[in-house]
Structures are given as structure tokens and as C-alpha cells.
């Protein structure tokens, strides 16, 4: 498997530190508000990476933090006249809720900054003891970038160039403008914890590093986040690990490209954002996933509601195909003439699976993986159309299972739509209109369709329409196919 490493700018063979196991960490959100769909793109990318690694048989341990103490949280709390802890708790719950709606798997470990103060203080003390960090009179503790000769290793930035090219905040207590706070002295009214350097709170970059060390051990296999975190956040994380423990923080650094609107990065500060919640209130989560996964995770992704509308249709096409294949697979096997075509279709199913894996093995190319899935959908539709009533049930089942399995790797669940359970009210409808006496919704559907067919043959349009209206009133549609009519739920 080839994985692009942001540190070396190359695709590299993924070689786990411990055979068969992958330890990965993805920076979580700062919990002060609902997340936007740009944030969601990064979390989705790593959800799919994790799922594919699991699909390949790796035992994956996935950790993601919640940054629950930060200036943004404190400001929000002050605006709303609440405590920072209260805002952070509410937004953490909201984040977890939206992640569930979006089909993102829970991390195995979800540490919160405010509960990891001790681990962070230990790390800061090691850095001070080794001469890589220094406390100042105000009570802050800074990491000294000048003392770390490999500073810039991840982002490829050189400190002199940085100093010349970027505006940085002026602070007399810092030895270098790029020194960053490991510990921040508390201002009145801010959440704080006692420390050897006075009351204060940890800096953001300290958090991930200490948590990785505590929960996963360093180095880990994969460290991920959005590309905007490479500098300074990830640069600072890796600097701390190298200096504190003489170890790289991660073997592979992976970064998701930015989601953009009209060419601009989606961000809270630009105000050009849509929250994940508002999008999921209007669109199926799987359609949003498909839209995002149609672009490989490293490439920028241009978001628009027109594109998303289009993806809703794509999702329906996928669902309809699985439904048709499952329905066909559930019918009596038909023998005969199409054996050659059946075998050929079977080969197409296997080839689609191989192509999907080849694409995903190439740095998780979900765009290519989805192309393999859609090519199978097209082949399946062609096969079913050509076969009429003469299709092989076994190969239809294999095709449906393959589509579900591959989509499942992308976190797109087709099983619910494929089962498409019919409502029990059909039984009453069939009793009234088709002389049905049993108690099965599936049988009732068959009886109603037969009765409708009978009415149409007898040109009894009134009765045929009444049956169709009764079916429609239950939220179902009659689909006429080459192999006969059937019912399914409206998409
Ligand atoms: P934050 O809460 O700002 O730290 O962001 C959480 C995650 O979302 C980080 O991994 C960011 O890199 C990522 N992120 C922020 N904006 C975008 C965007 N427009 N597209 C993709 N990822 C983003
Ligand atoms: Zn981080």
C-alpha cells in the first residue's frame, strides 16, 4: 500500500511499526461551536482511511482529542455569560452527535485536554530540564525553536525565511518570535490549573503531543489532520516529541486538502461556511459522503449545493441498483441461455473489487474507488436489462454483496435501503383490494401487483388506479421492470 507522507513529499510503502497493527491519531476540533463541512471533510477522510486499513486486515487503534480549553472557547463563554467548561461540554456533545449522523466511527480513545493536564505538565518539565523550554516571569512557558536544530523538518520551513517573511506577534518575553507557548499563565476569570510555573493552562500544540505519548506511544504510524495544520501546529508537535523523547512523533504524516467555496478555503473567520448540522438536516449523510469522496483526500475539494444535489441522484442510482440485484437474487433461479453472460458478469464483479482495492492501495484514492463502484453499477444495470427474466441469481447476489461491501468501506451503508422492508399496512390494502388472506407484507405486495395487472388486462382502469393510489398513499412506488412490476419505498 502506498501512502503519501507530507514530511517526505512522497508516496511510501506503508510499513507498520508493529506487524498487522496501525496506531493513528487525528487532531480533533476545538469545541466552541458547531463544526463546518470543511472540518467534516478532514474527519471523513481519516474515517475512510481507518476503515480501509481495517478492511485490509490491520488492527487499527485510532485516537482523537477534543480541545476543550482554548481562547475561542473562553471568548464564546464570555459572550454568552456562561462558563468555558459549559460551552466546551455542550459543543463536545454536539460534535459527537454530528459525527454519528455523518457515519464517522467513534475513536477508540477520545482524550480531552482538560483531563490530561498532568501528562502535559510532565512533558513540559522534561523539555525545561533538557533546555528546550523556558518559563518567563509572567508565568508562561515557551518552547525555544532555536534550540531545536531540526525545527522545520515537517513543513520544510526555515526559521530565517520565516522571520523575514511572516508577521508574528511581538512579545518581549520570547527569545524568538517563533517560540510558542507550552503553558499559558491564567488571566483573571479564565479556567486554570496549578503548575510549577503558576496557575495556567496548556497550549494547543502541547496537547496532541502529550496525548499521543500517553495513549499510543511514540512514534505512531500515522498522524493526520487538515493541511492547514502542517504549520505551525504539526511542526510544533513534532518538535516537542523530538526534543522531549528523542523520537519522531509519527512515521507518516497525512494531511487532507481544504474544502473550498468559490475558490476560497471554507473557514469560520471568512464567514463562508455551512455547518455539518445544517447540511445533514437537508441532505442524506451518504450523499454528502459520496460528494466528498469523489475527490481524493489530498486534493482541494470545491463544494457547492448544485454538486450535492447531483450526488443525491448518484446515491439513489446506487441504492436502486443494489435493490434490483437483491430483488433479482431473491427470485427463483432461471436456467439456460445466458450462462455465458452470467459468467462474464461474474468476472466484471470480481474485476470491480480488484480495481477498487488497487485504487485505494494507491494513497486511498476514493475517487478511483468510486469510479470502480459506478462502473459495476452500469454493468449490473446492463446485465439485468439484457437478461430480462433470465438472470443468474447467484451472480446478482454476489454483485449486490460486493457493492454493499465496497460502499461499506467508504462508510456508505446500502444495506438498509437494499432491505427496503415493506410496510405492514400493505396487508390490509391487499385484503381489501386483492382478496388476500395472509399476513405477510411481501406476499401482500405480490397479490396487489397481480390484482393490478389483472385489472389492467381487463381494462378495469378504475380498479387498477385505486390499487396504485392505495400503494402510493403508503409511500411506495410501483416500478415496472423487464422482469415484472414490484414495489419499493420512495427514495
Ligand atoms: P479546528 O477545530 O479549526 O482545529 O479544525 C478541525 C480540523 O478541520 C483540522 O484538522 C483542520 O485542519 C480541519 N479544517 C479546517 N478547515 C478546513 C477546510 N476548509 N477543509 C478541510 N479541513 C479543514
Ligand atoms: Zn493536534
Peptide bond into 398 cis (omega under 30): no
Mean pLDDT lowest among 183-197, 255-269, 410-424 = 410-424
What is the Cα–Cα distance from 311 to 284, expressed in whole angstroms? 10
Query: Which atom of ligand 1 has the smallest separation from the CA of 259?
Result: 20
Q: What is the whole-number distance in angstroms between the Cα of residue 472 and the centre of ligand 2?
A: 52
* Contacts for 216 with CB less than 8 Å, ≥ 6 apart: 23, 25, 61, 63, 109
Cβ atoms of residues 364 and 297 within 8 Å: yes
H helix runs in 13-116, sequence order: 37-55, 71-80, 84-101
Q: Is the pLDDT of residue 241 over 60?
A: yes
Q: What is the whole-number distance in angstroms between the Cα of residue 212 and the centre of ligand 2?
A: 9
Query: Which atom of ligand 1 has the smallest separation from the CA of 265?
Result: 19
Cβ count near 463 (within 10 Å) = 16
Q: Is the pLDDT of residue 491 over 70?
A: no
- pLDDT, average across residues 283-306: 97
Q: Which of 323, 126, 339 is CA-nearest to residue 218?
A: 126
Ligand nearest to the CA of 46: 1
CB of 265 sitting under 6 A from ligand 1: yes
Ligand 1 atom 9, closest CA: 226
Q: What is the whole-number distance in angstroms between the Cα of residue 183 and the centre of ligand 2?
A: 16
pLDDT at residue 126, as a whole number: 98
The residues spanned by each domain of the chain are 18-282, 320-416, 420-489
- Under the banding of pLDDT at 50, 70 and 90, the label for residue 420 is low
pLDDT at residue 310, as a whole number: 97
DSSP annotation string for 164-211: HH------TT-SSTT-EEEEEEPPTTS--B--TT-SEEE-HHHHHHHH
- pLDDT, average across residues 65-87: 95
Ligand 1 atom 6, closest CA: 29
Q: How many helices (H) and strands (E) does the chain have?
A: 17, 15
Ligand nearest to the CA of 27: 2
Q: What is the whole-number distance in angstroms between the Cα of residue 252 and the centre of ligand 1?
A: 19
- pLDDT, average across residues 111-124: 97
Helix (H, G, I), strand (E, B) or coil at 491: coil
CATH number of 18-282: 3.40.50.620
Q: Is the pLDDT of residue 417 over 70?
A: no
- Under the banding of pLDDT at 50, 70 and 90, the label for residue 138 is very high
Our measurement of the distance from residue 404's CA atom to the centroid of its chain's CA atoms, rounded to an integer in Å, reads 17
CATH number of 320-416: 1.10.730
* Contacts for 231 with CB less than 8 Å, ≥ 6 apart: 154, 155, 157
- pLDDT, average across residues 137-165: 91
pLDDT at residue 332, as a whole number: 63
Cβ atoms of residues 26 and 224 within 8 Å: yes
pLDDT at residue 224, as a whole number: 98
pLDDT at residue 418, as a whole number: 47
Amino acid at each position: 500500500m502506498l501512502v503519501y507522507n507530507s514530511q517526505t513529499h512522497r508516496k511510501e510503502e506503508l510499513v507498520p511499526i508493529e506487524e498487522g497493527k496501525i496506531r493513528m491519531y487525528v487532531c480533533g476540533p476545538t469545541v466552541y461551536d458547531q463544526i463546518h463541512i470543511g472540518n467534516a471533510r478532514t474527519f471523513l477522510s481519516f474515517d475512510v482511511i481507518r476503515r480501509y486499513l481495517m478492511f485490509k486486515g490491520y488492527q487499527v487503534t485510532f485516537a482523537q482529542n477534543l480541545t476543550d480549553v482554548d481562547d475561542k472557547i473562553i471568548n464564546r463563554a464570555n459572550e454568552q455569560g456562561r462558563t468555558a467548561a459549559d460551552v466546551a461540554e455542550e459543543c463536545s456533545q454536539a460534535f459527537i452527535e454530528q459525527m454519528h449522523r455523518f457515519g464517522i466511527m467513534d475513536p477508540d480513545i477520545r482524550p480531552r485536554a482538560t483531563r490530561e493536564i498532568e501528562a502535559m505538565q510532565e512533558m513540559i518539565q522534561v523539555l525545561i530540564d533538557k533546555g528546550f523550554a523556558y518559563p518567563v516571569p509572567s508565568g508562561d512557558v515557551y518552547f525555544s525553536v532555536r534550540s531545536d536544530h531540526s525545527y522545520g523538518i515537517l513543513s520544510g520551513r526555515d526559521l530565517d525565511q520565516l522571520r523575514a517573511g511572516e508577521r508574528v506577534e511581538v512579545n518581549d518575553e520570547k527569545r524568538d518570535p517563533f517560540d510558542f507557548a507550552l503553558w499559558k499563565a491564567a488571566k483573571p476569570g479564565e479556567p486554570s490549573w496549578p503548575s510549577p510555573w503558576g496557575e495556567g493552562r496548556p497550549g494547543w500544540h502541547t496537547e496532541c503531543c502529550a496525548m499521543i505519548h500517553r495513549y499510543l506511544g511514540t512514534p505512531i504510524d500515522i498522524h493526520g489532520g487538515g493541511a492547514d495544520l502542517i504549520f505551525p501546529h504539526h511542526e510544533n508537535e513534532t518538535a516537542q516529541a523530538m526534543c522531549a523523547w528523542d523520537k519522531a512523533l509519527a512515521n507518516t504524516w497525512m494531511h487532507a486538502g481544504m474544502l473550498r467555496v468559490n475558490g476560497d478555503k471554507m473557514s469560520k473567520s471568512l464567514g463562508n461556511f455551512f455547518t455539518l448540522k445544517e447540511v445533514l438536516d437537508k441532505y442524506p449523510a451518504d450523499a454528502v459522503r459520496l460528494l466528498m469522496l469523489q475527490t481524493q483526500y489530498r486534493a482541494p475539494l470545491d463544494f457547492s449545493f448544485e454538486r450535492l444535489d447531483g450526488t443525491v441522484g448518484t446515491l439513489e442510482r446506487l441504492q436502486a441498483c443494489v435493490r434490483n440485484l437483491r430483488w433479482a437474487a431473491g427470485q427463483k433461479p432461471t436456467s439456460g441461455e445466458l450462462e455465458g453472460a452470467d459468467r462474464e458478469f461474474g468476472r466484471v464483479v470480481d474485476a470491480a473489487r480488484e480495481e477498487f482495492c488497487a485504487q485505494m492501495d494507491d494513497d486511498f484514492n476514493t475517487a478511483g474507488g468510486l469510479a470502480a463502484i459506478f462502473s459495476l453499477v452500469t454493468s449490473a444495470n446492463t446485465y439485468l436489462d439484457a437478461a430480462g427474466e433470465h438472470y443468474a441469481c447467484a451472480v446478482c447476489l454476489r454483485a449486490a454483496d460486493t457493492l454493499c461491501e465496497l460502499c461499506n468501506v467508504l462508510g456508505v451503508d446500502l444495506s438498509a435501503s437494499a432491505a427496503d422492508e415493506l410496510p405492514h399496512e400493505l396487508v390490509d390494502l391487499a385484503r381489501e383490494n386483492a382478496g388476500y388472506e395472509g399476513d405477510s407484507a411481501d406476499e401482500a405486495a405480490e397479490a396487489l401487483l397481480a390484482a393490478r395487472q389483472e385489472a389492467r388486462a381487463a381494462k378495469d382502469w378504475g380498479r387498477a388506479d385505486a390499487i396504485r393510489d392505495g400503494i402510493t398513499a403508503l409511500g411506495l412506488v410501483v416500478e415496472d421492470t423487464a422482469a415484472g412490476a414490484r414495489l419499493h419505498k420512495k427514495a
